[in-house]
Amino acid sequence: QVQLVESGGGVVQPGTSLRLSCAASGFTFSDYALHWVRQAPGKGLEWVAVISYDGRYKYYAQSVRGRFTISRDNSKNTLSLQMDSPRPEETAMYYCARGLERNFGMAVYLDYWGQGTLVTVSS
């Protein structure tokens, strides 16, 4: 069965860095676009970034562009999110989610989600 397991969350100081990972199994990883979505405590969902199935295309929310980097390793079935200079308002549960098959990423179709990893940005 499809599984997505996030890791790497924790407490991080503003202006430092944190790298989140998402380990995937149960499907052909290299065939699917992958997304990061976050949810601040008690708030709604916020789309963060997507990477195409082949890694060629990456798109970001305006709020994280230039600070966050999405990447994937199709040989290790792993998705990553490098968070540089995080801000306190980016404290949230971060979810990875599977997108469309053989897609360059331009759709918020997310059929499988991980359970999330909590990131707390605080000094």
Shortest separation between residue 11's beta carbon and another protein, angstroms:
21
Of 89 and 109, nearer to another protein (C-beta) is: 109
Q: In this structure, what DSSP letter does residue 77 have? A: T
Distances, alpha carbon 45 to alpha carbons 93, 105, 116, in Å: 10, 18, 12
Q: Does 40 engage in binding with another protein (CB under 8 A)?
A: no
Q: Does 45 engage in binding with another protein (CB under 8 A)?
A: yes
Q: Does 111 engage in binding with another protein (CB under 8 A)?
A: yes
Counts for the chain of helices (H) and strands (E), in that order = 0, 11
Measure the CA–CA gap between 36 and 119, rounded to whole angstroms: 13
Q: Does 54 engage in binding with another protein (CB under 8 A)?
A: no
Distances, alpha carbon 80 to alpha carbons 42, 43, 90, 104, in Å: 25, 23, 17, 17
Shortest separation between residue 13's beta carbon and another protein, angstroms:
27
Q: Does 35 engage in binding with another protein (CB under 8 A)?
A: yes
Number of residues that bind another protein (CB under 8 A): 22
- Applying CB under 8 A, which residues contact another protein? 35, 37, 44-47, 50, 59-62, 95, 106-111, 113-116
